Structure 1
Amino acid sequence: MRHLKYFCILFVITIVFISGCGNSAKTSKQHEGKIQITTTIGMIKDIVNEVGGEHVAVVGLMKSGVDPHLYKASQGDIQKLEKANIIFYNGLHLEGKMIDIFKKMAKKKTTIAVSKDISEDQLRGWDDGTEGHDPHIWFNVKHWITATKTVRDELIKYDPDHKEDYQTNADAYIKKLEELDQYAEDKIASIPEQTRVLVTAHDAFGYFGDRYGIEVMGLQGISTASEYGSKDVSELRDFLVANKIKAVFMESSVPKKAINAVVEGAKKKGHNVKIGGELFSDAMGEEGTPEGTYIGMVRHNVDTIVDALK
């Protein structure tokens, strides 16, 4: 009986192993002949899939809910970067703990910051007094159109045989982005001007505010690596009370504790502020959902903001 039990266990292990090998071989075959690309944030992965189409196999390092400001590359991530033909990252110190890795990779393979073609006068300054810039460029859809063109041009440079496909794919995606840009502009303009204030956990929405005409305030700075203190909480609380702000917003990739403290502080001062909903800031939604795409993420954010503030 004991021998039969061991045989059954061994049989199951063998089947699982064979199945795993089969899946691995299947995946390898699917990727055969394609350009192997590794990206950091999901928004960039989305661009590469849209523009690259059938000619690329894309791996994203940072999943839904992951904060890129604090992200540290694992050994598995290094392997994914090593295996890639091309690496696309945001730049502008968004992936602050990976800068040295990108410099190292750039010496041996195409390693591109998708922000590189946005002119400096279009970039917002970093809020810590340094020479740096706000990295959250995707919140101005026009900037993300520039990033799309950068990805297109780099794919054409690497794989000129499929130039026409990359151009056609990029044109189709850019058309959708232009429609998204107009959608955001029209919807935000429908919020009464006196309540057109977006308050979030960290200052990720500056480009969004500049482009679509809404005042933006964040409890933390541009990077979540910056600390907030009781003074920051009390100043934001007092602003909400004085200006009778109706709602504040949580972010999917930032802990809720800080913004909850502001809401509670306003309540003690006699002003009820509601949580207007959850916004996607530094990471998109779960893969397979509308918010798991760049366009779906932006539309979700716009709709959530308008519903809460209108």
Structure 2
Amino acid sequence: MRARRTWPALAALASSALVSFALIGCATPGQGGADRPQIVVTTNILGDVVGEVVGDEAEVTTLMRPNADPHSFEISAQEAAMLGDADLIVSSGLGLEEGLQQHLDRAADAGAPLLVAGDAVASLPYASGDAAGAPDPHFWTDPATMVDVVDAVEQAAGEIDGVDQERLAEHAAEYRDELETLDTEMTEAFAAIPPERRALVTNHHVFGYLADRYGFRIIGAAIPGGTTLAAPSAADLQELSDAITEAGVSTIFAESSQPDRLVQVLASEADIDVRVAELFTESLTGPGEGAETYLEMMRANTARISEGLTQ
């Protein structure tokens, strides 16, 4: 167990009114004052966390829509221009936002303040697959690691003119407490799974941090690399099928942001009675879809993993 530390571009054919409406719809609820500092966040998981940390001290705009894929989502020309005007840009980094990196690099070169959350955590390497040894960007699957992110967001936001540092500290402390409660809940839930059943198979490698903290084994992934943009070969699928059979896992997991066809194929090819369950892994959902916030997402996943591996 890792020791816990004390956190093709969319065409610009839409009218300005429609684009502006979309951007407002992605802002943190309750934040609409144009006179407040502007923080732009790439992914919706980070957007939720940043919004909780800064509260009403800044207007937070999230670029990635609900149920999107962080590896491939794209932004409009107007959204790209917004990056250059932001008082702070927050990205995941570690190679996650592949379709957005050129815009982030351009904004950073122009002098826009940029916080890369992946730089604030003790990153883990991918343990297997095509990306073995490369940094794993899916740090949010461990809520203890997210405390490091909260610390970094608090520090970066506190350097913005107009932000009340005392109120910011209060919001950050409250959210750290939420993360500690979540970590305790997950620890207790996963402790009830027999150690020999703590084995995870999913669409692609996303659970390295969760596995490291809570004592799971990663059996493999249908997509062997660290990105959803890769594609598995027949040999990859056969190797994973053999591993599933050998491990005798009872459930394999499909990500909500991707079709689960590959996982369904694995379930049939493994020639064992394997269930397929859906998890929320790389994106939050819209309201009422099961993972509207980071905390809701993690609690839903904890319940589904626990149920899937104890039946």
| TM-score range for the pair, normalised by the shorter chain length | 0.7 to 0.9
- Aligned partner of 2:168 in structure 1 is 166
1:147-189 residue CA offsets vs partner (Å, 9 max, x unmatched): 1111110111113650001101000000110111111111111
1:125-144 pair list within 5 angstroms:
125=126, 127-128=129-130, 132-144=134-146
State the distance in 2 between where 1:218 and 1:130 align.
13
Say which SS state the counterpart of residue 238 (structure 1) adopts: helix
- Aligned partner of 1:113 in structure 2 is 116
- Aligned partner of 1:307 in structure 2 is 307
State the distance in 2 between where 1:48 and 1:289 align.
21
Normalising by structure 1, we get a TM-score of 0.84
State the distance in 1 between where 2:207 and 2:229 align.
16
- Aligned partner of 1:242 in structure 2 is 246
- Aligned partner of 1:123 in structure 2 is 124
Query: Does the CA-based 8 Å contact 1:47-1:151 persist in structure 2?
Result: no
State the distance in 1 between where 2:246 and 2:130 align.
26
Which letter maps to 2:281?
S
- Aligned partner of 1:195 in structure 2 is 197
1:44-64 residue CA offsets vs partner (Å, 9 max, x unmatched): 111221111112111111122
Between stretches 199-208 and 101-110, larger displacement belongs to: 101-110
Please tell me whether residue 40 in structure 1 is matched to residue 54 in structure 2: no
State the distance in 2 between where 1:306 and 1:116 align.
31
Runs of 4 or more above 4 Å deviation: 26-29
Between stretches 38-47 and 284-293, larger displacement belongs to: 284-293
Structure 1 residues 131 and 179 mapped into 2: Cα distance closer, same or farther (>3 Å)? same
Structure 1 residues 42 and 30 mapped into 2: Cα distance closer, same or farther (>3 Å)? closer
Query: Does the CA-based 8 Å contact 2:83-2:112 persist in structure 1?
Result: no
Which letter maps to 1:246?
S
- Aligned partner of 2:183 in structure 1 is 181
Identity among equivalent pairs (%) = 27
Shift of 1:136: 0.5
Say which SS state the counterpart of residue 164 (structure 2) adopts: helix
- Aligned partner of 1:262 in structure 2 is 266
State the distance in 1 between where 2:167 and 2:106 align.
31
Gaps of 5+ in 2: 1-16
Please tell me whether residue 218 in structure 1 is matched to residue 250 in structure 2: no
State the distance in 2 between where 1:169 and 1:180 align.
17
Which letter maps to 2:134?
G
Say which SS state the counterpart of residue 218 (structure 1) adopts: strand
Shift of 1:232: 1.4
Gaps of 5+ in 1: 1-18
State the distance in 2 between where 1:92 and 1:196 align.
27
Normalising by structure 2, we get a TM-score of 0.84
Aligned residues: 283
Higher helix share: 1
Shift of 1:129: 5.7
- Aligned partner of 1:13 in structure 2 is none
Which letter maps to 1:55?
E
Between stretches 77-86 and 87-96, larger displacement belongs to: 77-86
1:4-40 residue CA offsets vs partner (Å, 9 max, x unmatched): xxxxxxxxxxxxxxx99xx99x999932221111111
Say which SS state the counterpart of residue 32 (structure 2) adopts: helix
The Cα RMSD (Å) is: 2.5
State the distance in 1 between where 2:288 and 2:150 align.
21
State the distance in 2 between where 1:245 and 1:161 align.
50
Q: Larger Rg: 1 or 2?
A: 1
Which letter maps to 1:254?
Q
Which letter maps to 1:62?
M
